Amino acid sequence: MGYKTLVGLEIHVELMTKNKIFCNCKNEFGGEVNTHVCPVCLGLPGALPVMDKEALEFGIRAGLAFNSEIEKEVRTDRKNYFYPDLTKGYQISQADLPLCKGGHLDIELEDGVKRINLERIHIEEDTGKQLHTEDGTSLLDFNRCGVPLIEIVTKPDINSAEEARLFLEKLRSTLKYIGISDVRMEEGSLRCDVNINVVDDEKKIKSKITEVKNLNSFRSAVKAIETEEKRHMELLDKGENTDNETRRWDENLNETVIMRRKFGASDYRFANEGDLPSIKIEDSWLEEIRNNLPELPHEKKVRFISEYSLGQYEAEVLTGSKELAAFFEETYKYVNDSKLLSNWIMGDVLRRLKEEDMEIEALHIQPKDLADLILLVKDGKINNNTGKKVLKDMFDSGDSPEKIVKEQGLIQISDEGALEEIVEKILDANPQSIEDFKNGKDRAIGFLMGQIMKETKGKANPQMVNKMLLAKINLR
Amino acid sequence: MITKDEVNHIASIAKLKIKEDEILLFTEKFDQVMSFVQKIKEVDTDNVEPTYKINDEDGFLKENGESQTLTREEVLRNTVDTQYGYFKILKVVE
Amino acid sequence: MDISSLKAWEMREKLLKKEISAVEILESHLNRIDSVEKDINAFITIDRDNALKASKGVDEKLARGESLGVLAGLPIGLKDNIMTKDLRTTCASKMLENFIPPFDATVVRNIRREDGIILGKTNLDEFAMGGSTETSYFGNTRNPRNLDVVPGGSSGGSAAGVAANELAISLGSDTGGSVRQPASYCGIVGIKPTYGMVSRYGVMPMSNSLDQVGQFGRDVKDAFLMLKGVSGFDPLDGTSSKKSGINFDLEGGSLKGLRIALPVEYRDLKVTGDEKIREMFDNTLKVFEREGAIIDYVSLPHLKYALETYYIISTAEVSTNLSRLDGIRYGYRTENYETLDDLYTMSRTEAFGEEAKRRIMMGTYALSAGYQDEHYKKALKVRTLIKNDYDKTFKDYDVILSLTSPILPFPFDSIINSPVDMYKADLYTVPVNLAGLCAMSMPMGEIDGLPVGMQLTGNRFQESKIIRAGYAFEKVVK
């Protein structure tokens, strides 16, 4: 049977509200050090927290998007510990009554859909930032202190690094879809900790759960899970075991390194946050938030499959982001050929975006322009290769396809008479190729095609040329 | 009975240093707290909700109100050591 | 005329009539301070320059014919746990000895809005933990009525300042009696408003579900004036009430037909040496009866658990409220540290006084793993039962009458009263905070030259009932 890997994830997501969660300092990444700080987030004596409506709404959106049960009376608790980036000596979080209970996210595996269940989602405040200098001091910036966070905790339903990756991708796109976070792991607006152990049901052995922190990207989360599960298995194989410890992912060493032993032993002395009487979530508000939720990725994918007759894979890719799906649908209005459109978008458009490390939002090609380009090719005015070149130019210049085609004189030569002339010319110049083709070397056609393209600067209509070549060779 | 170890443990999580001769005092004080606990244990509180809202009102939310943001000078004014606009302390040993 | 010996409301009336100026009012109090402060030590910080500037400003406003606020021209003292912008605020602790807040508490903003003059920051027990103002880093405050005895605490400075005419009116804070008891000991009026009536934003908390900012005045009208000036809903305080606000006046209250409840549990509570005080209270009851009040004994059965409930809740809350004092962003930072743990531990150990450390230890213990669920939550349930007892009583009665304290103001370093009695004494004041009620202590008389107060307790947001009753009683005994 072998080992089964059990992975649970704890994901912290920074909410992109206008203001911080308990005060009205700006919630903005990258401001000048210590300039978005007030008595509340600085933890001055007597300063008091007040819950932000937008932060609470964003948390509720997340709960609805993941099918969680929303707690109608929102209570907060103090999580007590001392650390320099924590200004009050406690973090206002939620202990036994999280904002959202349960919930799930489905991922697409090769052999079907797998449901990853959530334990809970709760709302809390972020801490400040610490920098370590070379001369042995720590520098503290509290701009980030008080930024609203939601913490999403999964059940240990994830059984491999690949499943974790799929889960994180889906989570990320859903969170972006509902507009509550820009989920940029590099900027810290999405942070992930991994809890992992392995079990062998037959031999009835299991390793002790270890926690891995300091994961800066999905890639490192995947690698950490892979190396960690291997480490657990190797220890069990030797008859040893892991320890309940917290480990850190080290990118350079490509392995997990111990950070501290015995996690979970901290006494946080959770106590009700007396400065924040519980908040009632009215049913009417909840309904309003629910109605304003955008169509979620899964719903959209199902709709794309049926409405546009797309395959699973295409639908998955095209609904990967809300903006990409919107781009597809907008362009479709002008093109009306979903197969063709999806090929173009999934091919050249996405490829170029990936090369430039850009998101679709940054693309300055209008849907109508892309549609026009596709139609130009579909109608035979330019050939496919020309089309790709025009797209490249559109990317760079932002000009419309008509303009580019006109300026560069790229209209495909589909005039029979003109083509005939050229075909005859090339055939006359290449008797050997004709001979080769007649002797069974099919490649010779390709060579002749290439010559014709060269002669016409790529503008010859390939389908027509192909037909003509075959016809004329037979006559020779 | 509260042990000396427990007293030291509490002191360490409260970030206080307790002198050797104060430990006895604290074991007594903690015992006193436990005696209070014992006293209220005898109250029947079945079906009684804990009081979380003293003035019987629900909490309220804030929405785009005025900010109380301070200038950096005000933020740093009362600390002992700063550098480049940051608060400065010795390096944290993990 | 010695302006500082007038009542605050009289000073304001004369100011508005232009009989005296705000500067004269201030100078009168400054003179008083110069003559008695060295004996009383009511203040930690006196802000003469800015007070003078503010007083001049009020005079100018008056000259321009502009309307003036409710606290116009009145020299006001603030307990030094209330944040004042750019004016040192210490909480009577070495930890905050040099702390200059960059912001005002909401009550301070309200005072400024009402043209009040902030004269200085008054002495208290360190972090408001105490009942005698003997634990301040800045020395003891003495009772103006008798310099050998304590003024009470923790708001001893604010009470003494008003009693000694160094201040017209003042603010304190009350968690379990810290305004009412010093009012009683100094022979003045002290109000602890309903929980949520006065903003706590900018007031260093002791126990956040019990604290309220309280008002001191030489008579009921003065204390009422102070309350009017600072109360109101504050969007910066999540526990502030939408029902907050004073919308009644003092006239129109009558003792005739006033329904007064006397807790049986107090009648049966005996503290060593309280006979004379009880006798005085019984005589006071006769005054009420003579004026037509209806007095009954009622039982509040859960009152007997109030002290334990209070101590568990307040110590647990206090311990976390003081966690932000770590020497990193402000406050005292030790010089002997090599590790982060040292930084925290040595700063806090060197800067906190003994009582503060003791309470933090007790609170941390009360909340530590394995215990928190059991007794903190249990205490919150008993709190509900106590609250219910009061709610039931107030259905049929307007006010509850009792002593404020069963013991007289005592000498410094006192061991005359046993710890058990000191502890029992709190039973008169503490349940009021547990139930979030409003209460007022006012002078009842004197024994051996020492003031004794009585306490009127009203239901939440029924300040009108207790303050009007107090005002009516004051008129009767005058």
Domain boundaries, chain C: 3-230
- CA pair distance C261, C281, nearest whole angstrom: 14
For A26, which DSSP code? Answer: B
Say if residue C280 is exposed, middle or buried (CB neighbours under 10 Å; 0-12, 13-18, 19+).
Answer: middle
Which residues, numbered 164 to 203 in chain C, qualify as contacts with chain A under a Cβ-Cβ cut-off of 8 Å?
Answer: 200-203
Chain B nearest-CA distance from C471, in A, is 26
Distance of CA C183 to the CA centre of its chain: 8
**The tokens of A238 are what?**
């030797």
Bridge partners for A52 per DSSP = B62
**pLDDT bracket for residue A198 (50, 70, 90):** very high
Q: Residue A260 is inside which H or E element, if any?
A: strand A255-261
Active-site choice (C79, C94, C121, C228): C79
Cβ of B68 within 8 Å of Cβ of A40? The answer is yes
Percentage, residues of chain C above pLDDT 70: 97
Chain B CB within 8 Å of residue A219 CB: no
Cβ of A84 within 8 Å of Cβ of C203? The answer is no
Of C102, C208, C323, the CB nearest to A275: C208
Cβ of B45 within 8 Å of Cβ of C343? The answer is no
Residue A290 belongs to a domain: no
Average pLDDT, integer, range C434-449: 97
| Confidence at residue C159, expressed as pLDDT on a 0 to 100 scale | 98
- CA pair distance C395, C274, nearest whole angstrom: 31
Question: Do A276 and A301 belong to one domain?
Answer: no
Size of interface A-C (CB pairs under 8 A): 100
Task: Give the phi and the psi of residue B19 in degrees, each rounded to 5.
Answer: -70, 155
Q: Is the pLDDT of residue C167 over 60?
A: yes
Question: Sign of dihedral through CA atoms C455, C458, C460, C461?
Answer: negative
User: Which residues in B lie closer than 8 A to residue A75 (C-beta atoms)?
Assistant: 52
Q: How many CB atoms lie within 10 A of CB B39?
A: 16
The predicted-structure confidence for C194-250, as pLDDT tens digits, reads as follows 999 999 999 999 999 999 999 999 999 999 999 999 999 999 999 999 999 999 999
- CA pair distance A148, C466, nearest whole angstrom: 43
| Confidence at residue C371, expressed as pLDDT on a 0 to 100 scale | 61
| Confidence at residue C350, expressed as pLDDT on a 0 to 100 scale | 96
Cβ of B58 within 8 Å of Cβ of A277? The answer is yes
Rg from Cα positions in chain B:
23
| Residue stretches of chain B with pLDDT short of 50 | 94
Chain B nearest-CA distance from A88, in A, is 13
- What CATH code is assigned to B4-41? 1.10.20
Average pLDDT, integer, range A270-278: 92
| Confidence at residue A433, expressed as pLDDT on a 0 to 100 scale | 85
Cβ of A35 within 8 Å of Cβ of B69? The answer is yes
| Residue among A162, A47, A75 at smallest CA distance from A114 | A162
**The tokens of A79 are what?**
């999580």
Cβ of A140 within 8 Å of Cβ of B84? The answer is no
Question: Where a domain ends, among A241, A260, A284?
Answer: A284
Three-state DSSP string of C75-131: EEEEECCECECCECCCCCCHHHCCCCCCCCCHHHHHHHHCCCEEEEEECCCHHHCCC
Chain C nearest-CA distance from A402, in A, is 59
**pLDDT bracket for residue A253 (50, 70, 90):** confident
Active-site choice (C55, C154, C184, C464): C154
Residue B86 and residue A140 in contact, taking contact as beta carbons nearer than 8 Å: yes
Distance of CA A115 to the CA centre of its chain: 19
Q: Residue C443 is inside which H or E element, if any?
A: strand C438-447
List the domain range (segments joined by +) for residue A370. Answer: 295-408
CA atoms within 13 Å, Cβ hemisphere of C148 = 3
Question: Residue A214: left if φ>0, alpha if ψ -120 to 50, beta else—which one?
Answer: left
Q: Residue A192 is inside which H or E element, if any?
A: strand A190-200
**pLDDT bracket for residue A265 (50, 70, 90):** low
Q: What residue in C sits closest to A50 (Cα-Cα)?
A: C238
Cβ partners under 8 Å of residue A289, min gap 6: A57, A60, A61, A64
Interface test mutation site (partner A, options C99, C241, C367, C378, max chain A beta carbons within 10 A): C367
SS3 C70: coil
Helix axes A297-307, A161-177, angle to 10 degrees: 90
Of A46, A271, A274, the CB nearest to C83: A46
Residue with tokens 């003045």: C188
Cβ of C362 within 8 Å of Cβ of B43? The answer is no
Cβ partners under 8 Å of residue C244, min gap 6: C196, C197, C198, C231, C232, C233, C234
**B2-B6-B11-B17 Cα dihedral, nearest 10 degrees:** 90
The CATH number fitting domain C3-230, selected from 3.40.50.2000, 3.90.1300.10, 3.30.460.80, 3.40.50.1820: 3.90.1300.10
Catalytic residue status for C178: yes
Chain C nearest-CA distance from B24, in A, is 12
Q: Indicate yes or no: pTM above 0.80.
A: yes
Average pLDDT, integer, range C416-428: 73
Percentage, residues of chain A above pLDDT 90: 55
Catalytic residue status for C158: no
The predicted-structure confidence for A113-157, as pLDDT tens digits, reads as follows 899 999 999 999 999 999 988 888 999 999 999 999 999 999 999
More confident residue, A382 or C420: A382
**pLDDT bracket for residue A252 (50, 70, 90):** confident
Q: What residue in C sits closest to B42 (Cα-Cα)?
A: C305
How many residues in chain B? 94
Q: Is the pLDDT of residue C474 over 60?
A: yes
Question: Do A328 and A467 belong to one domain?
Answer: no
Count of structural domains, chain A: 3
User: Which residues in B lie closer than 8 A to residue A260 (C-beta atoms)?
Assistant: 94
User: Which residues in A lie closer than 8 A to residue C316 (C-beta atoms)?
Assistant: 271
Q: What residue in B sits closest to C377 (Cα-Cα)?
A: B50
- CA pair distance C65, C182, nearest whole angstrom: 39
CA atoms within 13 Å, Cβ hemisphere of A324 = 25
Average pLDDT, integer, range C348-367: 90
| Confidence at residue A263, expressed as pLDDT on a 0 to 100 scale | 54
| Confidence at residue A261, expressed as pLDDT on a 0 to 100 scale | 62
Question: Where a domain ends, among A237, A254, A284?
Answer: A284
For C58, which DSSP code? Answer: H
Active-site choice (C178, C184, C231, C314): C178
Of C81, C105, C238, the CB nearest to A275: C238
Catalytic residue status for C79: yes
Q: Tell me how far apart the terminal alpha carbons of chain B are, to the nearest angstrom.
A: 34
Average pLDDT, integer, range A246-274: 80
Of B36, B41, B77, the CB nearest to C100: B77
Question: Residue C364: left if φ>0, alpha if ψ -120 to 50, beta else—which one?
Answer: alpha
Average pLDDT across chain A, whole number:
91
Average pLDDT, integer, range A180-208: 91
Q: How many CB atoms lie within 10 A of CB B35?
A: 10
| Confidence at residue A306, expressed as pLDDT on a 0 to 100 scale | 95
**pLDDT bracket for residue C370 (50, 70, 90):** low
**The tokens of A462 are what?**
């390939």
Cβ of B51 within 8 Å of Cβ of C384? The answer is yes
Of B48, B51, B55, the CB nearest to C194: B55
Cβ of C238 within 8 Å of Cβ of B60? The answer is yes
Q: Is the pLDDT of residue C417 over 60?
A: no
Of B7, B50, B65, the CB nearest to C380: B50
| Residue among C172, C167, C210 at smallest CA distance from C190 | C172
Cβ of B29 within 8 Å of Cβ of C364? The answer is no
Neighbours of chain B (3+ CB pairs under 8 A): A, C
Chain B CB within 8 Å of residue A79 CB: no
The predicted-structure confidence for A84-100, as pLDDT tens digits, reads as follows 999 999 999 999 899 99
Average pLDDT, integer, range A211-216: 88
User: Which residues in A lie closer than 8 A to residue B71 (C-beta atoms)?
Assistant: 35
Question: Do A230 and A309 belong to one domain?
Answer: no
User: Which residues in A lie closer than 8 A to residue C98 (C-beta atoms)?
Assistant: none
Q: How many CB atoms lie within 10 A of CB A353?
A: 17
Cβ partners under 8 Å of residue A329, min gap 6: none
Residue with tokens 């030590």: C41
Question: Do A278 and A378 belong to one domain?
Answer: no
Question: Do A401 and A438 belong to one domain?
Answer: no
Residue A308 and residue A302 in contact, taking contact as beta carbons nearer than 8 Å: no
Cβ of B88 within 8 Å of Cβ of A34? The answer is no
Whole-complex ipTM: 0.96
Give the CATH number for residue A461: 1.10.10.410
Where is average pLDDT lowest: A366-375, C105-114, C195-204? A366-375
Q: Is the pLDDT of residue A1 over 60?
A: no
| Residue among C127, C135, C111, C140 at smallest CA distance from C47 | C111
Chain A nearest-CA distance from C210, in A, is 10
Chain C nearest-CA distance from B8, in A, is 10
- CA pair distance A192, A174, nearest whole angstrom: 16
User: Which residues in C lie closer than 8 A to residue B69 (C-beta atoms)?
Assistant: none
- Render chain B in DSSP notation, one character per residue: ---HHHHHHHHHHTT----GGGHHHHHHHHHHHHHHHHHHHTS--TT------TTS-----B-S----PPPHHHHHTT-S-EETTEEEEEPPP-
Residue C366 and residue C315 in contact, taking contact as beta carbons nearer than 8 Å: yes
Neighbours of chain C (3+ CB pairs under 8 A): A, B
Question: Do A279 and A428 belong to one domain?
Answer: no
Average pLDDT, integer, range A156-176: 94
Residue C452 and residue C195 in contact, taking contact as beta carbons nearer than 8 Å: no
- CA pair distance C266, A167, nearest whole angstrom: 64
Chain A CB within 8 Å of residue C390 CB: no
Positions of E strands within A48-147: 69-70, 73-74, 77-80, 90-93, 100-101, 104-109, 112-125, 129-132, 137-141
Question: Which of the residue ranges A1-10, A13-22, A394-403 has the most confident prediction, judged by mean pLDDT?
Answer: A13-22
**pLDDT bracket for residue A322 (50, 70, 90):** confident
**pLDDT bracket for residue A217 (50, 70, 90):** confident
Positions of E strands within C195-258: 212-217
The predicted-structure confidence for C18-76, as pLDDT tens digits, reads as follows 999 999 999 999 999 999 999 999 999 999 999 999 999 999 999 999 999 999 999 99
Question: Do A329 and A445 belong to one domain?
Answer: no
**The tokens of A193 are what?**
């900790």
Interface test mutation site (partner C, options A38, A44, A85, max chain C beta carbons within 10 A): A44
- CA pair distance A399, A459, nearest whole angstrom: 20
**A250-A253-A255-A261 Cα dihedral, nearest 10 degrees:** -60
Residue C216 and residue C170 in contact, taking contact as beta carbons nearer than 8 Å: yes
- CA pair distance A263, A244, nearest whole angstrom: 6
Cβ partners under 8 Å of residue C396, min gap 6: C259, C261
Q: Is the pLDDT of residue A414 over 80?
A: no
Which residues, numbered 126 to 165 in chain A, qualify as contacts with chain B under a Cβ-Cβ cut-off of 8 Å?
Answer: 130-133, 136-142
Average pLDDT, integer, range A346-350: 90
| Confidence at residue A441, expressed as pLDDT on a 0 to 100 scale | 86
